[in-house]
Structures are given as structure tokens and as C-alpha cells.
Amino acid sequence: MSGIRVRIAPSPTGFFHIGNAKTALINWLFARSKGGTFILRLEDTDTERSKPEYADIVCEALKWLGIDWDEGPSFRDEPERGAYGPYRQSERKHLYLQEANRLLKEGKAYKCFCSKEELDAERERARIEKRPPRYSGKCRNLTEKEIRAKEGLPYSIRFKVPPGVTEIDDLIQGKVVTDHTEFDDFIIVKPNGDAVFHLAVVVDDGLMKITHVIRGDDHLTNATRHVMLFRALGYELPQFAHLPMVLDEKGQKYSKRLHGANVLDWREDGFLPEALVNYLVLLGWTPGDDREVFSREELIEAFTIERLGKSPGKFDYKRLLWLNGQHIRKLTAAELCERVLPILRKAGFDVDAFPKEWLIQMTAICQDRIPTLNDIIGYTDFFFVEPQSYEEKAVNKHWRKEPQNAVQTLEKIRNMIEETSDFSHDGLKATFEQKAAAEGVPVAHFIHPTRLALTGKSVGPGLFELAALLGKEKCLQRIERALAFVRTIEETKI
RNA sequence: GACCCCAUCGUCUAGCCUGGCCUAGGACACCGCCCUUUCACGGCGGCAACACGGGUUCAAAUCCCGUUGGGGUCGCCA
């Protein structure tokens, strides 16, 4: 362990956003590449929006991505781990209050008795008059007597912003200087006793000895508030690194409503977690050479925080799709098979009726063709169920034009299949090629109708490997079915 | 509105800090060709960018200023 401590602090509000995933990933890579500690902390201070069961989704998404944490809350049957817990903010309320009271006692914060209505009205007035919406500071200098007079009334606690400027040396954004006059005295504890985000993060980061705060640059302005709080609380200041955000394909903030905003959407869609991870890290980071396809291990090896870019990136689905294909091809056929079986089962196919070795071969003949795991269904469904219909366009092309010839061709195909004793890719190929040569026609003349008869489609895996896997008996049955079908065309035509 | 951040092909980016090697490199996408039994995969080639305007300099994508565009923050959300 290097002493480096980083964290990801999502709020459990129902799902895990793609932007959170990128932040988590960068933190994790930084920790793993430096021998540091990666911490998961759940920011569930907003009791109205956070639900305990949502935390599950966050953990689930992280697990799926392969981002494991060294310290963090309990998850299902895993106990909480780490020496700086608890790791749920809802369980740390006493710490926030303790620290807020310390600030109060030290005169670095004060009680504010202004009501929400009062403040809203004030803000509204500022908006109309085009003034910056700032708190007036009404309660900042209340006398002891005035405070005592308000005893019993609900109050919030505000941080007394000190005069001066704050300079942040951001690892990504560079030097950022902000004058404190840009800030009003912000609330750190709500009247109901809940800590506000700013207080909670700083207390947690301080107490958990976080050394590097790596998060989205939507927090860049907040960082100044946090530094002021760090100093007021007397904690050691961490280093900051503000990551550019992930935008949608139109360049807008990635809306939660958009498909794909939820990390788990990608699992549903048949994407490999290692592909998503690879894609996400490339959105703002390059190794400096031309490598683009990375395994998790290779990423840990190559990652450096210095090479992180500072401009935001638009999400590019086609590029992710390409990377997914690259990762699918990198797997062994057996590995790919394991990933694809649940999908086929879910589609209702009785895959377990087939031997493992056979299933692996079936996967292998699709491996170079499928962009996502889900595409396996369209490429292999005919292995499990007989074609329910024949693709209309292909029927027109191969059968309907000259049904009589089509019947003859299918009969020849039936005979070829029947006569093939070596029912393998090579054996079938030899038979087809010999016949085609003898007849003086291209092999395609036989291949296309065969594919249509066996699979019902015009696209799919290579015909000979597919037929070999299907087996002679099923092939013959399906040719017969096709023959019957074409004969009905012939009859209706006459 | 105030403050902050960002700005190279349609997209992700290399190059920028430490000006000349940049007639700006790679990848995705797109287009063409090759391979080929379909669809793919793979191979080869093509299209395509330094946001704009001023400086500084012998020389600027690279440094400085301004403009424009995009994003963020300004909550008793996180």
C-alpha cells in the first residue's frame, strides 16, 4: 500500500450513471496503478431521494464493471470492510454534527434562523433585479441576546466564509484561483439536523484520510468551498483532480432518462464490461501511443493521471460497439460460450440439452461476426428451433423465381448431403465443390438455397460449419421441409 | 447575469508544457477496392480538423490578448 487513498462517492438514487462509472474507473485505475486504496462511500444524506435498496444497484454496477473496492459498506452477504467506517453517510450523522458544532464553537460557522420562504423570496428578488443570488448575511452577526431570543426556533448552520482567495492546483485543470467574495455563507447543516453535501464530503474525506479527490468537473467550483472547509476543520488538504464530464451524442449533459445513462443498460444490451471500461477510459485518456484495445490489467499497467485530458467527450455508440467486438474476439471460444449461454437460455433455448463441446463450437463459428453478446440469438436460433418461416427476400431470390429449378436444386442438395460420409466442414465443402464443378456452376448456386433451407435466413455463420454442427439428420429433414415448401409455390404458380 | 472550466477531422484523440521534425499522426464512423458462400472479420486505399481575430517571433496547432461557441457553479440536491 502506497498511502494513496481515493474514493468514489455515489448517491444511491436508483441507478449508477455512466459518468459515475467513468469517475469510479479513473479513481480505481489510479489506486490500482499506484498501489493505493480504493474506497466506496455511499452518499445517502438526502433522506428524501436515497433509498437503502438503491445502494445495491450501485454495488452491482461496480461489481459488473470489475471495479472492486478495498474499503466500503456491506453489500449483500459481504460485511463492511475498512478502518475508517462507517461508509454510509446516513450512519455518520453524528460526525458531521460534531464537526459542525466545533465550527460553531470556534466562530467559523453560525446559526441562521431565516426560513426557507424568506430565502426563496430573497433569491427571487435577486433574480429579477439580475443580481447574483446570494445570502444577505442577515444572521451572520446576531448578538448573543438576539440568538437567545430565537431559542427553540428551527435554524440551519451556515459556514462563515472567510475573506481571501483560494488557489487550487488541480491535477487535471491546472491552477484555479477563486476569490472568496464569489461565495456567500453556505448552509452546512439543515434545520432537520442533516448535513449538507459540502460538509459531509469534507468531513468524510478528511476523516477517511483521502489523499486525492478525483471527481467530475461539475465540482470544480465546489472545490473552493471544500478547501475553505478543510482549512477551517484543520484537516490535511487532499490533491484535487477534476475530470471532464461525459456528454451524450448531441453534446448535452448525459440525461438520466437516456438509454445508456444507466451503466446496467449496457449489460442488458450485450456489452462486455471490459469493453465499456475500455471505452470509458479512452474518453479522456490515451496511453500516448496508438494502442486502443486494453484489458483491465493492461489499463492498470498503462494508466497515468498525467495523461488525462481536460475537455469533455461526447458518447460515441459506434466506437463502443467496435470495442465490444474487439473484446469479444479476444476471448477464447470457451469463455465467450460461458457469457453467451445465459442469453440463449433467457431467449428460451434449451442449450443444456447440448454437450458443452458442441456449444463451444457453435459459439466459435459466430465469434468473428457478432458485435454484441445479444447478437448470438439471431446467429444461432436455428440450432435450437426449426425455422418457423423463410426470409421473404431470400425466398423470392432463390425459390420463387423458378420454382421448378429450385426443386431440382434442392433435390441435388439433398442427395449431396445424403452422400457425404465425412459430415464435417471439409467433407461438406468437398462434396459441394465437386458437384458445382461437375455441373459447371459456382458453389454459391448450391450454398444459398441450402442456407435458406437450414436456417430460414440469408445471413449467418459459414454454411459448412453450421451444417456440420447441425448434423446430417436435421439437415436432411430441413431440406425435405424446404422441398415441400417450394413445391407449394410451384403449385400455386401453375 | 456573475464567476470558473473547455476548444485539433462528424466522433475519440496524438502533437501544445519544453515554438521549427506538422504539406497535422492514429482510431471509430463513412466511401471504394481486395478476401469471400451470406453477414461479418481481416487487409489495402480514400474523404475529413488546428473555432475566429489580433499580436509576439526568422518561424505558432503550439506562447500572449480578445471574440465566439460549448460546459459547469451560484439549493435546506449530491
- Here the CATH number for the domain that contains residue A235 is 3.40.50.620
Cα–Cα distance, A313 to A286 (Å, whole number) = 13
Residues A354 and A479 in one domain: no
- Count of domains forming chain A: 4
A451, part of any domain: yes
Q: How far is the CA of A313 from the C1' of B7 (A)?
A: 12
Nucleotide closest to A13 measured between CA and C1':
B78
Nucleotide closest to A218 measured between CA and C1':
B72
Catalytic residue among A116, A150, A250, A256: A256
End-to-end CA distance of chain A: 83
What's the mean pLDDT when you consider all of chain A? 92
Instruction: Among A381, A401, A420, give the residue marking a domain's end.
Output: A381
A216, part of any domain: yes
Asked if the Cβ of residue A292 lies within 7 A of any atom of strand B, the reply is yes
Tell me the per-residue pLDDT of A183-215, one tens digit each, with 9 for 90 and over: 999 999 999 999 999 999 999 999 999 999 999
In the block, cell 427553540 appears at A152
Residues A183 and A112 in one domain: yes
Residues A201 and A82 in one domain: no
Annotation marks residue A472 as catalytic: no
Residues A55 and A117 in one domain: no
Work out the pLDDT band at A382, boundaries 50, 70, 90: very high
A198, part of any domain: yes
Tell me the per-residue pLDDT of A33-82, one tens digit each, with 9 for 90 and over: 999 999 999 998 776 676 777 888 899 999 999 999 999 999 888 999 99
Q: Model's pTM, two decimal places? A: 0.92
Asked if the Cβ of residue A130 lies within 7 A of any atom of strand B, the reply is yes
Asked if the Cβ of residue A436 lies within 7 A of any atom of strand B, the reply is no
Instruction: Among A181, A215, A243, give the residue marking a domain's end.
Output: A243
3-state secondary structure of A111: strand
Tell me the per-residue pLDDT of A264-309, one tens digit each, with 9 for 90 and over: 999 999 999 999 999 999 999 999 888 999 999 999 999 999 999 9
Residues A224 and A253 in one domain: no
Query: Positive or negative, the Cα torsion across A146, A151, A153, A156?
Result: positive
3-state secondary structure of A105: helix
Cα–Cα distance, A316 to A472 (Å, whole number) = 45
Asked if the Cβ of residue A245 lies within 7 A of any atom of strand B, the reply is yes
* Domain of residue A355, residue span: 332-381
Residues A61 and A80 in one domain: yes
Q: How far is the CA of A26 from the C1' of B66 (A)?
A: 36
A131, part of any domain: yes
A387, part of any domain: no
Nucleotide closest to A118 measured between CA and C1':
B76
Residues A107 and A236 in one domain: yes
Residues A302 and A427 in one domain: no
Strands A109-112 and A156-159: antiparallel
ipTM attached to this prediction? 0.94
What's the CATH number where A461 sits? 1.10.10.350
Asked if the Cβ of residue A395 lies within 7 A of any atom of strand B, the reply is no
Strand B nucleotides, any atom under 7 Å to a protein CB: 1-8, 10-15, 25-30, 37-42, 70-78
A327, part of any domain: no
A290, part of any domain: yes
Residues A253 and A351 in one domain: no
Q: How far is the CA of A373 from the C1' of B13 (A)?
A: 28
Cβ A172 vs Cβ A242: under 8 Å: yes
Q: Residue A493: its pLDDT value, please?
A: 61
